Amino acid sequence: MRLDRFLSNLPRFNRQDVRQLLASGRVRVDGQVNRDSHAEVRVFSRVELDDQVLQAGKAARYFMLHKPLGVVSATEHPEHRTVLDLLDETDKHELHLAGRLDLNTSGLLLITNDGQWSRRVTAPQGKQPKVYRVETEQPIDPACIEVFAQGLYFRFEDLLTQPAELQILAPRQARLTLYEGRYHQVKRMFGHFQNKVVGLHRLSMGAITLDERLCPGQYRALTAAEIACF
């Protein structure tokens, strides 16, 4: 919300009052005097008028979770445990997922209460790389490398997938880098070669890599450097 609108929404101020308050330098946002009526006020912003706190501001929270198999990437579910059930945090209902993983996919999951940050994480135009370790039922055909790099046609959506990078690590194991997140994309890509995916684990999103010290089901707060990646 714009700063002038935030102030105008308070019962005691009209638009003229707001202009005068801003011009006189009496309003501070996050400790700094702010005269810009178009400045953005978020739920995390601390807004003060003289010595009076108009909005204390919530603490922004950012976590990485090592999602285990069999846990749903959702905030609530009638049948399965959700990723929020794994968190020992207050006000968990305020948190949401920055991207999802299928029930039978493990690995890095980002959780936050910062909607703008999570939109940057998941925005298609950002083309943030997502790296997966893939295990397949049959040996991986080396032809996959070139086909994935060129893109695969998905008839249901009538689209061509973005170029993907495949590195074969073992006969039935590979490292796959995607720049988008289509429905069951990895399984469908290998399904094009009649090869079933039997194991899928996300290693990283953008510049954030899953902490190897985290066991499945464990989580930790993101560092300032990790938060700044998006």
Whether 4 is catalytic is no
What's the CA angle centered on 192, arms 189 and 198, to 5 degrees? Answer: 60
| Architecture of the domain delimited by 3-55 | Roll (3.10)
Average pLDDT per 10 consecutive residues for the chain, totaling 230 residues: 94 93 95 95 93 92 97 90 94 93 96 94 86 98 97 91 97 97 93 97 97 97 96
> What is the four-CA torsion angle of 179, 184, 190, 192, rounded to 10 degrees?
-110
The single residue of 85, 102, 141, 211 carrying the catalytic annotation is 102
Q: What is the pTM of this model?
A: 0.84
Instruction: Look at residue 80 in the predicted model and tell me its pLDDT.
Output: 87
CA torsion through residues 24, 26, 29, 32, sign: positive
74 bridge partner residues: none
Q: How far is CA 194 from the centre of its chain?
A: 31
Residue 125's pLDDT is what?
76
CA distance 129 to 138: 26
Q: What is the pLDDT of residue 53?
A: 94
pLDDT at position 54, please? 95
**Quick one: pLDDT at residue 105?**
97
pLDDT in the model for residue 183: 87
CB neighbour list of residue 90: distance below 8 Å, 6 or more residues apart: none
Distance CA 148, CA 88 (A): 40
**CA separation for the pair 169, 163 (Å, rounded):** 19
Relative to beta strand 197-205, strand 106-112 is parallel
* Boundaries of every domain in the chain: 3-55, 62-227
| Level-2 CATH architecture, domain 62-227 | 2-Layer Sandwich (3.30)
pLDDT of residue 79: 86
Q: So what's the pLDDT on residue 123?
A: 86
